[in-house]
Structure 1
Amino acid sequence: MTPHSRRPDRPSTTSPTPNRSPRASTPARAWAELLRLPALFTVPGDALVGAATSGARPDSRTLLAIASSLCLYEAGMALNDWADRTEDALERPHRPLPSGRIRPSAALTAAGALTAAGLALAACAGRPALTVAAPLAATVWAYDLALKRTPAGPAAMATARGLDLLLGATATGGSARPALPAALTLATHTLAVTTVSRGETRGGSPLAPLAALITTGTLAWRLTRTPGASGEAPSRHPAADALHTALTAAFVTTSGRPLLHAALNPSPPLTQRAVGGGIRAMIPLQAALAARSGALTSALLTAALAPAARHFARRVSVT
């Protein structure tokens, strides 16, 4: 999952959404804003990495896991705005709910329907997948309704993202164990980004972006320097190794540069850019984890989602 408690996510991906007139917005655009369309491209990589680290070749069950993840992710987005509608009326009146472009009841209904669809798709992928999807759905709802503003909020978001990767592993290979180190890597990045996101509307201390920057460097070092750092046997395919190195560099650049700026000046705009960069960095991180396991095709498919994410992020806020 992706941090989306307080937005810039959680634009352009680097700035708050302009205050558009509700009359100038179509229903399709309103729903695209509610569901954070650009962030959706960070989801399929979870299942692909899970499948890669399970040692099994992606199949129809992997596709079901991806579909389940997309539904549960979007359920969280809709529920997030429903839970934040009062606060958004003061801080983000242009958002779909406070601006009146989408009714709160419609957002809540969408969240419930998407959750049900996500669980049904996971069940179609098999009992092991449903065993992971159920706590994932519970974590998403608990985060949006109760944990978001508590000290447990970032950890809950990180847990959801890790479970999302394990969903792909269990759907494809039947076991979560081989994918645990990769899930921990993705969860650690999510924890750092979500912690930074808490200062995106009012600014804050430079400590959070600085800690996230250190986390980015540490994860990259473990991926590139330590054999089996992501939990899989190191790839011995030269093409996969080269791709892995390039993707790790892309992860560091995408996440690290805006975090450095936010650490030097933790103003709301720069913090928002840092959160947006952290979200976009999930794609090269996922692709690097897949390449690390030798799954060259999955790595390329995941990396190919980045241009689409950037394209849509210029039109719809990712947070």
Structure 2
Amino acid sequence: MTRIGAYLRLMRPANIVTAIADIMMGYAASGALLSLAIWESGTFSVSEFSPLFWLILSTIGLYGGGVVFNDVFDADLDRVERPERPIPSGRATVGGASLLGGVLLAGGIVAAWQVSLLSALLALAVAVCALVYDWKGKHHPVLGPINMGSCRGGNLLLGMSAVPAAVEQFWYLALIPIVYIAAITMVSRGEVHGGNIQALKGAVLLYALVILAIISLALLPQFNVLYSIPFLLLFGYLIFPPLFKAMPTKEPRLVIKAVKAGVLALIVMNASLAAGFAGWEYGLLVLLLLPVSVYIARSFAVT
């Protein structure tokens, strides 16, 4: 691996694609698509999508910076448990990674500022949550998963901030990724030494809760659950089998596969929500990020 490749690996490119799906889903929930002239006149203008583009750039910086600092704070531990990672292997340095992470986080906040002050404040909140998790949060058995989930919830709200009023109206949608990411974080703690059966069972319950929560959005006049159902079926197919397979053995190898499946399935979860708010066509557009993420995951680690 080249030095540039090592720093790219620190950013977890495949995971960044899942963060873009968060933004696209939040953008759909904001109702921004309904106000675009393209739907009214059939014309297309790139400038109409500028808030979405800026917010995507923002999440690339925020997520990339957050996971880079994860390896910075874990450098000593990784020398024992993950010596193949870029920093302990010597292909990247703590100083270089810290500089990269700082630039990415700052860039994410600046990009969000191009949309609105609210977007910038949300980006700042996501950056702080990420740093707190990397520093101390990950070591707390209860608050750690919630802390990690809050980063994703904040990212969804960031996408929604394209229409600031939507954040106040639909803020509770952030609870869905918070619960889902909390479940993945619980499972991921068994990547090195093997899974905890209680954590794996708890993840099954939380996954089911997420699916029920999405279906319950049918109560909203803005959400068409019929468009969401096909995506939810695919979502369940992707997340449950790897988890059930890891339960009997609790082998680290199978736990890693369950975590990887959960992370990549974030795109499908977002697609199900996006379809409900903006139609199956837009949901399919979000879903197309999945093969992109899977392809990148062949070259770069997800966990």
- Is 1:51–1:173's contact at 8 Å kept on the other side of the alignment? no
Select which of 229, 232, 252 maps to 1:248: 232
The aligned counterpart of 1:15 is none
Distance 1:199 1:311 in 2: 25
Distance 1:174 1:227 in 2: 19
- Does residue 274 of structure 1 match 2:258? yes
- Does residue 304 of structure 1 match 2:288? yes
- Does residue 188 of structure 1 match 2:179? yes
Distance 2:239 2:297 in 1: 16
Distance 1:98 1:248 in 2: 39
- Does residue 177 of structure 1 match 2:168? yes
Per-residue CA distance 1:77-124 (angstroms, 9 max, x = gap): 110111111011111111100111011100000111111101101111
**Which segments of 5 or more consecutive residues in structure 1 lack a partner in the other structure?**
1-24
Select which of 72, 84, 101 maps to 2:62: 72
- Is 1:182–1:289's contact at 8 Å kept on the other side of the alignment? no
- Is 2:30–2:162's contact at 8 Å kept on the other side of the alignment? no
Distance 2:26 2:164 in 1: 9
The aligned counterpart of 1:44 is 20
For the residue of structure 1 that corresponds to 2:84, the secondary structure is: coil
Distance 1:313 1:51 in 2: 25
Distance 1:194 1:213 in 2: 13
- Is 1:136–1:163's contact at 8 Å kept on the other side of the alignment? yes
- Is 1:46–1:168's contact at 8 Å kept on the other side of the alignment? yes
- Does residue 261 of structure 1 match 2:245? yes
For the residue of structure 2 that corresponds to 1:269, the secondary structure is: helix
- Is 1:287–1:303's contact at 8 Å kept on the other side of the alignment? yes
Per-residue CA distance 1:205-248 (angstroms, 9 max, x = gap): 21111111122223223434x3536x663328xxxx34x22211
- Is 1:206–1:265's contact at 8 Å kept on the other side of the alignment? no
- Is 1:64–1:125's contact at 8 Å kept on the other side of the alignment? yes
Shift of 1:252: 0.7
Distance 2:2 2:256 in 1: 25
- Does residue 156 of structure 1 match 2:147? yes
Q: CA RMSD in A?
A: 1.7
Amino acid at match of 1:156: N
Shift of 1:173: 4.2
The aligned counterpart of 1:32 is 8
Shift of 1:181: 3.2
TM-score by length of 1: 0.85
Distance 2:30 2:12 in 1: 30
Correspondences of 1:206-217 after superposition (within 5 Å): 206-217=197-208
The aligned counterpart of 1:109 is 99
**Which segments of 5 or more consecutive residues in structure 2 lack a partner in the other structure?**
37-48
The answer to which structure, 1 or 2, has the higher relative contact order (CA under 8 A, 6+ apart) is 1
The aligned counterpart of 1:20 is none
- Is 2:239–2:261's contact at 8 Å kept on the other side of the alignment? yes
Distance 2:246 2:177 in 1: 21
